[in-house]
Amino acid sequence: MSSINPHFQFQKAIDPSVEALMDGILHQNLSALSKAITLVESGLPNHRGMANELIDRLLPFTGKSQRIGITGVPGVGKSTFIETFGLKLIEKGHRVAVLAIDPTSSISHGSILGDKTRMNSLATHPNAFIRPTPSGGNLGGVHRKTRESILLCEAFGFDRILVETVGVGQSETAVHHMTDVFLLLLLSGAGDELQGIKRGIMEMADLLVIHKADGENQSKAERAMAEVKSAIRLFPTPPSGWSPQVQTLSSIEQLGFDSLFQQLESYFNHSITQGFFDFNRKEQSISWMKDALGDALFFWLENQPQFHERWKTQEEKVLLQQKSPFSAVSEILQSYLPQ
Ligand code: GDP
């Protein structure tokens, strides 16, 4: 088997035409969805064109989900939470897709979500879809892949999209910019509740959950909740006009989920009736467009003749401090623009 060229296998894996992928997705064929996501993750120029066409044609079927961002430091219990939360959403009749942004995965050459022991029951449920983190490429590219995957999952019929950030401070803003509601999981502990969480991230959260509020931890969690409540009172009102809510929760003991579902319902009622939901989605589309411009430009450049040589030459000059990064980039661009 080792003689098989993995690149060939990859090519073969996304061989179906845009038409076939579209048809498969609209007929809820999971393998078509997986292949379509592989296509949006591909770095090959002809795949990019196919991916754009596929997404354009599927657009009328997208948008009808709640996009829920979930973050928290490693170890806070995100995967345990998502497993319980996801199964409860399914019990309520929803179909759940879980996507993740992990800025470290291109460095570690593997993704945390790729670990099969995570979210086992959810991963094998017929009404759930868990996609490992896209790895490789620049951060902007990783974000684009996740955004496009959201649209593909919506076209398929998933009506709850959970976007998890597995990062430690780099990807929260990106997740905030691609979701409708932002949920921050926190840990209770001896005064270190807010440790490791930047104020900016707390300010983005619509719902703050003190996690692992069970057993001996319960009273600590209550104290942490009071502390967080008083800390966020000093924050400016978010653009949604929603007052962020704080609660305790245990995924293992399954405590606090009723309240979480109520809060989510209140949030969406507020957001929709106040017009924020639509406003935010439109703003996000424009911001995706701006990001896509930068991404497309980079992609185009990367595929120009001698780009890598020219980049290397300029990179050396920057490292030797003979040139600023700005003029190095300008020189590369100039060399491809008509004079
Ligand atoms: P992640 O790194 O944020 O995805 O965290 P994990 O979901 O892998 O959980 C980290 C550890 O916290 C594991 O040992 C879990 O068993 C534990 N954990 C997760 N949720 C809870 C909870 O609700 N209560 C308690 N006591 N432990 C939990």
* pLDDT at 109 exceeding the cut of 70: no
Question: Would you say 134 and 41 are in contact if contact means Cβ atoms under 8 Å apart?
Answer: yes
Question: Would you say 73 and 172 are in contact if contact means Cβ atoms under 8 Å apart?
Answer: no
Report the amino acid identity of residue 84: T
Give yes or no for residue 220 CB within 6 A of ligand 1.
no
For residue 189, the cross-strand partners are none
Query: What percentage of the chain has pLDDT greater than the value 70?
Result: 84
pLDDT of residue 304: 92
Per residue in 262-291, pLDDT (tens digit) is 999 999 999 999 999 999 999 999 988 988
The mean pLDDT of the chain is 86
Same-domain status, 224 and 304: no
Residue owning the nearest CA to atom 9 of ligand 1: 77
Task: Quote the domain boundaries for residue 54.
Answer: 14-61
What's 146's DSSP letter?
H
Question: Would you say 86 and 119 are in contact if contact means Cβ atoms under 8 Å apart?
Answer: yes
Residue 205 lies in a domain: yes
Same-domain status, 19 and 44: yes
Report the amino acid identity of residue 208: L
Q: How far apart are the first and last CA of the chain?
A: 51
Average pLDDT over residues 138-162: 88
> How many domains does the chain contain in total?
3
Per residue in 190-215, pLDDT (tens digit) is 445 455 667 788 899 999 999 999 99
Count of CB atoms situated within 10 Å of the CB of 92: 9
Same-domain status, 126 and 38: no
Distance from the alpha carbon of residue 79 to the mean position of ligand 1, in angstroms: 7
pLDDT of residue 1: 36
Crossing angle between the packed helical segments 6-13 and 30-41, to the nearest 10 degrees: 120
Same-domain status, 330 and 308: yes
Write the CA distances from 18 to 11, 39, 150, 201, 332, integer angstroms.
Answer: 14, 10, 18, 39, 34
Distance from the alpha carbon of residue 80 to the mean position of ligand 1, in angstroms: 6
Distance from the alpha carbon of residue 113 to the mean position of ligand 1, in angstroms: 15
Same-domain status, 191 and 301: no
Count of CB atoms situated within 10 Å of the CB of 271: 21
In this structure, of 14-23, 196-205, 229-238, the range with the lowest mean pLDDT score is 196-205
Instruction: Find all residues with CB under 8 Å of 287, minimum gap 6, and list them.
Output: 177
Residue owning the nearest CA to atom 6 of ligand 1: 77
Average pLDDT over residues 129-133: 83
Distance from the alpha carbon of residue 265 to the mean position of ligand 1, in angstroms: 25
Q: Which of the four pLDDT bands, split at 50, 70 and 90, describes residue 3?
A: very low
Distance from the alpha carbon of residue 254 to the mean position of ligand 1, in angstroms: 12
Q: Which of 70, 80, 118, 130 to mutate to test the pocket of ligand 1 (most atoms within 8 A of CB)?
A: 80
Same-domain status, 46 and 67: no
For strand 207-211 and strand 245-248, is the pairing parallel, antiparallel, or unpaired? Answer: parallel
Give yes or no for residue 77 CB within 6 A of ligand 1.
yes
Q: Quick one: how far is CA 112 from the chain centroid?
A: 13
Which residue among 247, 274, 301 closes a domain?
274
* pLDDT at 97 exceeding the cut of 70: yes
Same-domain status, 158 and 230: yes
Same-domain status, 145 and 269: yes
Give yes or no for residue 80 CB within 6 A of ligand 1.
yes
